[in-house]
Chains A and B, each alone.
Chain A
Amino acid sequence: DAGVIQSPRHEVTEMGQEVTLRCKPISGHDYLFWYRQTMMRGLELLIYFNNNVPIDDSGMPEDRFSAKMPNASFSTLKIQPSEPRDSAVYFCASSFSIYGYTFGSGTRLTVV
Chain B
Amino acid sequence: RKEVEQDPGPFNVPEGATVAFNCTYSNSASQSFFWYRQDCRKEPKLLMSVYSSGNEDGRFTAQLNRASQYISLLIRDSKLSDSATYLCVVRDYGQNFVFGPGTRLSVLP
Tell me whether A and B are bound partners: no
